[in-house]
Amino acid sequence: MTAGSAVDALQRTSGTSGTALHGIEPGRPGKQLGFAGLSHSDNVYDNGLIPVPVAVISSGTGPTALLVAGTHGDEYEGQVVLHELIRSLQPEQLNGTVVIVPAANAPAVRAGTRVSPIDGGNLNRSYPGQARSGPTDQVADLIAATLLPEADVVIDLHSGGSNSTYLPSMFIYRGPDQQTWERKVSATRAMGLPYVMVVQPRLEPGSLSTAGDDAGVLALSTELGGGGTVDPVILADARRGVRSLLAHMGILAAQPGTEVQPEGTAAEPTWLELVPESPVMATAAGIFEPLVALGQRVRAGDPVARVHAIDDLERGPREYTARVDGVVAILRRPALVALGNYLLHVAPELEAPRH
């Protein structure tokens, strides 16, 4: 799509969804920095707006990428990457348009929480959203109804947040058809992250990945570490990966000084699949002791965790075993656990797709 249509789509939000765009001029190539104004009235936001930062960087013609971070407020790697990209990416480097939403659930980002402290909304469970609802639903509606249909590719940058750490990976839904799956595989390889986690189609109906599949837009996600921190090695991979994806899509022109990994030069990632037997769940409250490390290969039946009771001094720790052969792909971060908490996930390895 052209820059004009991309920016026109942004501006239309003020007339159709009730979420006004400020600082974005329709049809103008260049770099524009503005925000979406969410309408909400309570004791803090009476007769005011909740700003969600939005940047549009465009050469005037070509395909459009929609880059989103801060879907969960305590996931920081993607936010850092996109804020840096807003500052460093220039229109003359592009053959298209990049729309960046670096703090999508802005109230959660500002509070450092997974969900919005205003309405309790989990943005990645809220799509397609509602224009005349709470702030989280308004953001979902803005993205799903206005930004997403105008994009050629969307990437939702996630990490483990405060409660878990993930292997640095692409996180992709199967399907929804063979052609789209092949495009996902190609784009995933272009990103060049060390791991890929594959999940079932429409794993979470309210997610941006599902919204992308429903809209017929190439939809990708990441899991970039986590633990409520920023890992410099993972961050460097993510920086390089986002630029490589933009180059793969024909949006980022090859120019001196841009950190673009040439297509086909990246090492093949390790392909994993999250299956129903992947999670190991705490069946008692207490203190979580991991017996394995992130990235470690285990076999079904291997001891992987213990939970120590806090008040029952005579009872030994409860031990947990892997339910499937695979790689420890997700590991809980806080040691204090409650009944029903996931301690870790073991993901079986997949043969790399041939296409």
CA 62 to chain centre: 24
The residues with which 287 forms a beta bridge, in sequence order, are 308, 336
Q: How far is CA 196 from CA 16, 272, 280, in A?
A: 37, 6, 20
pLDDT tens track for 28-66: 899 999 999 888 888 777 767 899 999 999 998 899 999
In order of start, what are the domains of the chain with their CATH numbers?
A: 3-273 (3.40.630.10), 279-347 (2.40.50.100)
**Average pLDDT of the residues in 181-185:** 97
Q: How far is CA 198 from CA 68, 106, 110, 173, 203, in A?
A: 20, 28, 31, 6, 10
pLDDT tens track for 169-179: 999 999 999 99
pLDDT at 46: 75
pLDDT at 84: 97
Flag whether pLDDT at 114 surpasses 50.
Answer: yes
For the whole model, what pTM was predicted? 0.91
For residue 207, name the pLDDT band (cuts at 50, 70, 90).
very high
Flag whether pLDDT at 261 surpasses 60.
Answer: no
Question: What letter represents residue 10's amino acid?
Answer: L
